[in-house]
Structure 1
Amino acid sequence: MMMKFILYLMFMMPLSFLNKFSLIQFYLFFGSYIFMILGKLNYQWNNLSYYMGYDLLSFGMILLSFWICSMMYLSSWMIYNKNLYSKLFIFLILILMLFLFLTFSVKDLLMFYLFFECSLIPVLFLIMGWGLQLDRIQASMYLLFYTIFASLPLLLMIFYIYLNFYTLSFIIFSEKLFFMTSIYLYIFMILAFLVKMPMFFVHLWLPKAHVEAPVSGSMILAGVMLKLGGYGLLRLLILLINLGNKYNFLLESINLVGGLMISLICLFQIDLKSLVAYSSVSHMSLLMCGMFTMLNWGVGGSFLLMISHGLCSSGLFCLVNIMYERLGSRSILINKGLINFMPSMSLWWFLLCSSNMSAPPSLNLLGEIMLINSVISWSWLSMYLIMFLLFFSASYSLYLYSFTQHGKLMMNLYSITQGYIREFLLLILHWIPLNLLILNNEMFILWK
């Protein structure tokens, strides 16, 4: 089955040179539905071949990739209308989707590393080619060098694992316990994933990349690329179980304090895109806290939050872009009084901001409950930091909503439309799975 989908994506590529924008978007949506129908959810590895296969974690991430990539076309209609190298743009997204599919479907660590690095290249071209300002070159370099410098130690560790354990298969990792003894091996193993997530201290590339990226680049960065780090950590945690019990308290402390500081930084932002980007770092900090407890609820909650954050953050970036197209600015000082200007869009601001602060019935709520439970059961002292982290997380979501919707409306408008059907469809397709997937929560809770 995996090979069918690879061929499906490859045969779509010639359509990009015919500039069939809507057709490829339809095929990607269709691909996500077919994958849902054909996928078996029995909590085991399915459709196994020598290098490929998927379990529940891979299934969720592949589905998220299909969903976000298809919505990247919906959000980037301006590129098609103005013909800003739209053929190349379509081709890059298809290449990116292919690399993401391969990354999540291989079960060999070396192949995973190869496609993990390859997925960086299309994102780099998206930022450099369709970025908005002159700083896009600097943002691209930040993204490239942070990722490459952190990834080289992981490659060395892959060779070390093969020389010592004679296997690189994820399936065998989950069936046997391989014990590593050195803290250097531990750091080298997880550094690439911590930068990708990103963890506080190695997060500086993310706000830069988001601010300079086009809306499609921001969507795929927030929706899927950050989750590559979480996916890699979830796959390799079993190798690090004895070292994790010794040293994870350091990472827990950094993430708890870092998440709190980033939440405070969000309250001082005046750039809407920058605020949403920093909120991603704050959510990822809580996710890593739960994951590094190595408890069942922490691991399940981190998987759940990866899916929910991918949908919520991507939707917020779409909203920011919708406002940017009309007002020509991302400043929170200019994007005011939007409830008078676009009352119907104000509803979607409220729905996505409330989901971002984990209000019911969003999937974020269940994910954060599971993560908080696991972190507090790991150490009750972390309760105080978690309490402030959640309070400020809700504060910046309210700040984002209230400052954009209320106040005096600026009159330097580029457009007076209430919103296109395409834009409402885009937001609906983010919000519905984000809030209805909670009805199928056993899919996330039972994954180990």
Structure 2
Amino acid sequence: MLKFLMMMVFMMPLCLKKKMFWMVQMMLMMMMFLFMNLTIFNESYCNLSYMISCDIMSFGLIMLSIWICLLMMMASENLLKMSYYVEFFMFNLIFLLIMLFLTFSVMNLFMFYLFFEGSLIPTLMLIIGWGYQPERIQAGMYLLFYTLFASLPLLMGILYLYTMKYNNNIYFLKFMNLNMYLLYFCMIMAFLVKMPMYFVHLWLPKAHVEAPVSGSMILAGIMLKLGGYGLMRVLVLMENLSLKLNFIWVSLSLIGGFYISLMCFCQIDMKSLIAYSSVAHMSLVIGGIMTMNYWGYLGSYILMIGHGLCSSGMFCLANINYERLHSRSLYINKGMMNFMPSMSMWWFLLLSSNMAAPPSLNLMGEINLINSLVGWSWVSMIMLILVSFFSAGYSLYLFSYTQHGKYYTGMYSFYSGVSREYLLLMLHWLPLNLLVLKVDYVMMWL
């Protein structure tokens, strides 16, 4: 694992040279293929080096991080055209990738906290440095304070755990079974805010709307998954207590998911709609993890990977329209089928994956999650029906609004999609729908 870390560290000076945009992209692609060929054993941690290691859970999420970072560069070619601090942008991106790589691979709980928080800084830089509106400062503050406020108790919890057990290794957490209410709330609140759970989700739509396309992609693709990953690792620590108290979070997220699905129908900003749909999907993930059963964990993991690819692709689509029309409003982005008929197909493919149509990973994850939640309590079926139905509803609403209708007459210049954009969308959609064939690989990891 250290070899990949070194590779990223040595890519950083490369970013600061001129005309290295495509070179860094190629290097990321090479790293992705090298990482894919790692040997992963199902039993436990492997590829250990200097307290950095990898099991199946971190393997999938690290692979997703490298892939999304590669696609972020591909989507941000506009910065290169305008030569808008592109060297610093690449540096920032690689720094973010290092932080994410370390978050998913360290075995020490304190180090995990450190990198979990550290990944916030480059994201903040992306939003404040390359965002579009002046409100981006406020969005950055929301992001920072929501996350920091909730994660200070986590730090206290980790330190308390260390003073009590003299051990912070994630692997050894499963041998402890603590019965402390306050510790339980301290340990999981940070992850619930990061997910984000309904009630503490307000930073997400704000951050998404103000972020540049790369910021939105990394937020939707990886940042929300940090919360899920943390929950999966930490809940093992307090199993008995979790079984007693988790009904709070399951009911909160299911009702919140339904309410957010309704909110999606009120949005007129494309990015805002996609951001709210992320919250609705993540509510299912929280529900699945909190049921504490095998199906729930599997479903959450699969849906996290699927949502990372799907949501990121949808932000790319919204950005492709934004680059042409300079507006994200659904009133102006109408009748796109007249201008970009082939882009319309990509809208359809990614939105169909978003509403969990076969053969996407989202469907596989949702089947597992529905299985786990209905097994946990049949009453949850009511909310699951509504969330699933409305997720199809707002996906169709977004598609029909953007692709059909009378187009905006004020469009005086327009150009069709370029090959880079089609490649970018294909690289989102193909893994999302082909990984279903390798889902047995995911099913073995617990």
Q: Deviations over 1:297-317 (max 9, x none)?
A: 100110101100000000000
2:180 maps to amino acid: S
Runs (5+) with no aligned partner, structure 2: none
Q: Deviations over 1:42-76 (max 9, x none)?
A: 34211123411100011001100000000111100
The yes-or-no answer on 1:383 pairing with 2:381 is: yes
How far did residue 413 of structure 1 move?
2.9
Q: Distance in 2 between matches of 1:79 and 1:248?
A: 45
Q: In structure 2, the residue corresponding to 1:47 is in which secondary structure? A: strand
1:396 maps to amino acid: Y
Q: Distance in 2 between matches of 1:81 and 1:414?
A: 22
1:96 maps to amino acid: L
Question: Which residue of structure 2 lines up, in the alignment, with residue 418 of structure 1?
Answer: 416
1:407 to 405, 408, 412: 405
Are the aligned partners of 1:131 and 1:212 in contact in 2 as well (CA < 8 Å)? yes
Q: In structure 2, the residue corresponding to 1:203 is in which secondary structure? A: coil
Q: Deviations over 1:364-422 (max 9, x none)?
A: 00100000000000000111111111111110011011111110011333642220000
Q: Deviations over 1:412-437 (max 9, x none)?
A: 33642220000000000000000000
How far did residue 288 of structure 1 move?
0.6
Q: Distance in 2 between matches of 1:42 and 1:384?
A: 36
1:422 maps to amino acid: R
- Greater mean alpha carbon deviation, residues 213-222 or residues 407-416: 407-416
Are the aligned partners of 2:42 and 2:444 in contact in 1 as well (CA < 8 Å)? no
Question: Which residue of structure 1 lines up, in the alignment, with residue 327 of structure 2?
Answer: 329
Are the aligned partners of 1:301 and 1:444 in contact in 2 as well (CA < 8 Å)? no
2:428 to 427, 430, 435: 430
Runs of 4+ in 1 over 6 A off after TM superposition: none
The yes-or-no answer on 1:61 pairing with 2:53 is: no
How far did residue 10 of structure 1 move?
0.9
How far did residue 183 of structure 1 move?
2.1
Q: Deviations over 1:302-340 (max 9, x none)?
A: 010110000000000000000001111100111000111
Are the aligned partners of 2:335 and 2:407 in contact in 1 as well (CA < 8 Å)? yes
Q: Distance in 1 between matches of 2:353 and 2:412?
A: 29
Alignment of 1:255-270 (within 5 A): 255-270=253-268
Q: In structure 2, the residue corresponding to 1:361 is in which secondary structure? A: coil
Are the aligned partners of 2:74 and 2:424 in contact in 1 as well (CA < 8 Å)? yes
Question: Which residue of structure 1 lines up, in the alignment, with residue 94 of structure 2?
Answer: 94
Q: Deviations over 1:184-229 (max 9, x none)?
A: 2111110110010000000000000000000000000000011000
- Greater mean alpha carbon deviation, residues 19-28 or residues 39-48: 39-48
Are the aligned partners of 2:334 and 2:402 in contact in 1 as well (CA < 8 Å)? yes
2:382 maps to amino acid: Y
How far did residue 3 of structure 1 move?
1.1
Runs (5+) with no aligned partner, structure 1: none
Q: In structure 2, the residue corresponding to 1:48 is in which secondary structure? A: strand
Are the aligned partners of 2:69 and 2:218 in contact in 1 as well (CA < 8 Å)? yes
* TM-score, scaled relative to structure 1: 0.98
Are the aligned partners of 1:326 and 1:413 in contact in 2 as well (CA < 8 Å)? no
1:191 maps to amino acid: M
Are the aligned partners of 1:341 and 1:409 in contact in 2 as well (CA < 8 Å)? no
1:435 maps to amino acid: N
Question: Which residue of structure 2 lines up, in the alignment, with residue 138 of structure 1?
Answer: 138
Are the aligned partners of 2:196 and 2:282 in contact in 1 as well (CA < 8 Å)? yes
- Percent of aligned pairs with the same residue? 58
Number of corresponding residues? 445
1:337 maps to amino acid: G
Are the aligned partners of 1:75 and 1:426 in contact in 2 as well (CA < 8 Å)? yes
Question: Which residue of structure 1 lines up, in the alignment, with residue 298 of structure 2?
Answer: 300
Q: Distance in 2 between matches of 1:105 and 1:186?
A: 23
